[in-house]
Structure 1
């Protein structure tokens, strides 16, 4: 929620020059007509016409002076609910104006500045506000495009009863609406692959807060004194307790291909937006199942996590914060200038990272081989390959080999569970297809986890 006081509306004069600049078209017309009438009356010697001309000329000047001498003070606040909303959904913005002066206000016109993609600029007219009184209005914003959009600053327009003068004062604060990708709930399935990192693997991380840990830590009220680690206590100069080895958490990496050369088309129904939405759905699903998850792009960069590894921390509130952080990253992710997957290949093979979920655009032979080699040090790997030609309506000529099908076949030979993504496909159904078939030995379960990760909101 943003709160503030508009500059110049609290009794501080902005100068008569700035006040004169607030003359409306009607006010300028009155002023011009009055001056013309006065000149004609002087030339023609018409006293009555001179009086009318002076009256018409003085009226807008009196209105300017009256608004210029306005002494009441108002404060405004904005409440955005929610601050993070999926694309295509609405958010509610509530505006509140408080008259903190001892005088009643005149006619107030309230206007909030919003980007054009969120809809028309909201305008409200507030009648007289008594001393200490307040007025509340609200409006809704909606965008089909991901992104971060500023709301504000809030503008207050003061007007005289004749509509001759309008003065605008702006508040200094603003809010930010984050429009994240649309996601969908996914079914609990089992994907083929060794459960590396899921209790038996080499990658180990801490479970939920409150369980026993691996290394000594500082003494906390209620800890058993029999667990005091005297060697560490002497070393650090404070009471330390030992922590037992605890259950391990599964790790998963969601790889999003953002290369501009790999995707064609734009807009909410493009292949790239489908990939972004699919990555968001997979992230939330894995976090809800207790996985430690990181989001990585073809640039090799990951959303920061614990110890700089990019993986989310433990469960509960920490996983909810990690989900919000990664969804915020997906809200603003765009195309990269890279042409290959080499950096993502190096980052993915830096260690045994458990499950790998990848969303690829168009792949040539070199990039297909790089993607195939990413499978070697993962517990399981699932690839969703989007053919931009099909998404843009360019069909493969009759009798010609389908390049997308050939790439998918190559990934399957390397051990990937690879699926081609047709235009407009439902990601939940593709996820179910990836886990179709009877569970076999060495499969990684996605329907359960070592511990609940909590939801994201």
Structure 2
């Protein structure tokens, strides 16, 4: 019965409680009139049926000539709210009033969001903006928006579905690091440490190399307002930065036996290491099994938002660059270039995080007898202080 009522509401109309009540009364009065042959009972029964007929036609007319459009959702990091904006436009010649609008969010985000619109004038749009908190990274997609009404008499419900595609990109959380020894000292030969790169950057602060259009995520302090006003669009300064030319690849082991919590910590660590290296002038890339080697901030953050454990590799790990290998085993592998590092989330059967680790075990890189610098992570402790300690 419930499925039938839902189908009727989506394709025609379904009676509300008051509608069922009046329908029952009309049947009662008609039966009484048939037994008593009283004309006034026929009049009451007929009047109720006429009201029900009108109430069944009007809700469907109210939902005609309504269009729903959705604005793009800006990417956010986990823990930040997403802003969802919908526009409902009345293309008809009459006022559309008493509408119930429901945005059917995916269940992994939250229950559907609902609002009530009192009236939309002919040819006018109605904007609905709501903010929804996020907890986990990911790319969330949904498309269905429901318009529902029982106007004007409230005796019958009518619902119509509209397609408004949505994509909410939630990047992993990025921790702010003041230092990161495992990244500062990476490489196969002695070189200038990244702290010196940072001092070089500070000494060149204020020297503009070029101006380029604003990209999402650029710091507001780098906007050149005078030039932006001249061109009518935001322009950002590119500063002269002296770096040592070091490059590094952050890689997530697809063959490791990840728990959900450990893998999420590994993704946060990858995003944090990239942010730290990028801020300090290091050429940082990201390798995952499904995406391969990617560069540029938007591509890396999108890849980290999509990455899953135990992906099937589509490309090989770069062999000519130092690697920071995020894994659950204690081995880097002989195929990795010299100067690479391991950040490990040891399983219960392996060494404890506070013990020195340098061993060989299964890994998608193969086996190795070389001793590698390893930073073991304790999942029960805060991640940021652990990434800032000496390996």
Q: 1:253 aligns with which of 249, 255, 262?
A: 249
For residue 119 of structure 1, give the secondary structure of its aligned residue in structure 2.
Answer: coil
Bigger share in strand: 2
CA distance in 2, matches of 1:289, 1:160: 61
Alignment-derived partner of residue 38 in structure 1: 30
The total of aligned residue pairs comes to: 326
Q: Provide the TM-score with structure 1 as the length reference.
A: 0.62
The answer to whether structure 1 residue 141 and structure 2 residue 132 are counterparts is yes
CA distance in 2, matches of 1:161, 1:75: 20
Q: How far off its partner does 1:385 sit?
A: 0.9
1:373-428 C-alpha deviation (Å, 9 max, x unpaired)? 244x23x2221111233xxxxxx7xxxx8476778233798342211111233333
Q: How far off its partner does 1:168 sit?
A: 1.9
The answer to whether structure 1 residue 424 and structure 2 residue 380 are counterparts is yes
Q: How far off its partner does 1:249 sit?
A: 4.4
After superposition, the Cα gap between the structure-2 partners of 1:373 and 1:406, relative to the gap in structure 1 and judged at 3 Å, is farther
Contact 1:35 1:54 in 2 (8 A): no
For residue 386 of structure 2, give the secondary structure of its aligned residue in structure 1.
Answer: helix
For residue 119 of structure 2, give the secondary structure of its aligned residue in structure 1.
Answer: coil
CA distance in 2, matches of 1:403, 1:123: 49
Alignment-derived partner of residue 216 in structure 2: none
CA distance in 1, matches of 2:18, 2:134: 37
After superposition, the Cα gap between the structure-2 partners of 1:73 and 1:347, relative to the gap in structure 1 and judged at 3 Å, is closer
1:331-384 C-alpha deviation (Å, 9 max, x unpaired)? 22222177xxxx79x934x5311x311111145xxxx3xx24244x23x22211
The answer to whether structure 1 residue 332 and structure 2 residue 311 are counterparts is no
Contact 1:119 1:142 in 2 (8 A): no
Alignment-derived partner of residue 408 in structure 1: 357
CA distance in 2, matches of 1:347, 1:196: 27
- After superposition, residues 223-302 of structure 1 pair within 5 angstroms as 249-259=245-255, 262-264=257-259, 266=260, 270-297=261-288, 299=289, 301-302=290-291
Contact 1:292 1:311 in 2 (8 A): no
Higher RCO (C-alpha under 8 Å, 6+ residues apart): 1
Give structure 1 stretches of 5+ with no counterpart: 1-15, 199-208, 211-246, 304-309, 313-321, 390-395, 436-457
The answer to whether structure 1 residue 384 and structure 2 residue 379 are counterparts is no
For residue 107 of structure 1, give the secondary structure of its aligned residue in structure 2.
Answer: strand
After superposition, the Cα gap between the structure-2 partners of 1:115 and 1:274, relative to the gap in structure 1 and judged at 3 Å, is same
Contact 1:361 1:385 in 2 (8 A): yes
CA RMSD of superposed structures (Å): 3.5
Contact 2:83 2:132 in 1 (8 A): yes
After superposition, the Cα gap between the structure-2 partners of 1:102 and 1:413, relative to the gap in structure 1 and judged at 3 Å, is same
The answer to whether structure 1 residue 180 and structure 2 residue 149 are counterparts is no
After superposition, the Cα gap between the structure-2 partners of 1:387 and 1:17, relative to the gap in structure 1 and judged at 3 Å, is closer
Contact 2:357 2:374 in 1 (8 A): yes
Contact 1:256 1:358 in 2 (8 A): yes
CA distance in 2, matches of 1:55, 1:388: 76
Contact 1:76 1:97 in 2 (8 A): yes
1:113-157 C-alpha deviation (Å, 9 max, x unpaired)? 112332332211111222233332322222323222124322222
Q: Provide the TM-score with structure 2 as the length reference.
A: 0.71
CA distance in 2, matches of 1:22, 1:38: 22
Contact 2:351 2:357 in 1 (8 A): no
After superposition, the Cα gap between the structure-2 partners of 1:24 and 1:193, relative to the gap in structure 1 and judged at 3 Å, is same
Alignment-derived partner of residue 217 in structure 1: none
Alignment-derived partner of residue 351 in structure 1: 319
Contact 1:19 1:68 in 2 (8 A): no
CA distance in 2, matches of 1:407, 1:302: 32
Q: 1:194 aligns with which of 179, 183, 188?
A: 188
1:28-57 C-alpha deviation (Å, 9 max, x unpaired)? 332233224313321343333332222222
Q: 2:118 aligns with which of 111, 127, 130?
A: 127
Q: How far off its partner does 1:69 sit?
A: 4.3
Alignment-derived partner of residue 55 in structure 2: 63
CA distance in 2, matches of 1:61, 1:160: 13
For residue 116 of structure 1, give the secondary structure of its aligned residue in structure 2.
Answer: coil
Give structure 2 stretches of 5+ with no counterpart: 1-7, 193-208, 211-242, 361-367
Q: 1:361 aligns with which of 292, 305, 328?
A: 328
Alignment-derived partner of residue 243 in structure 1: none
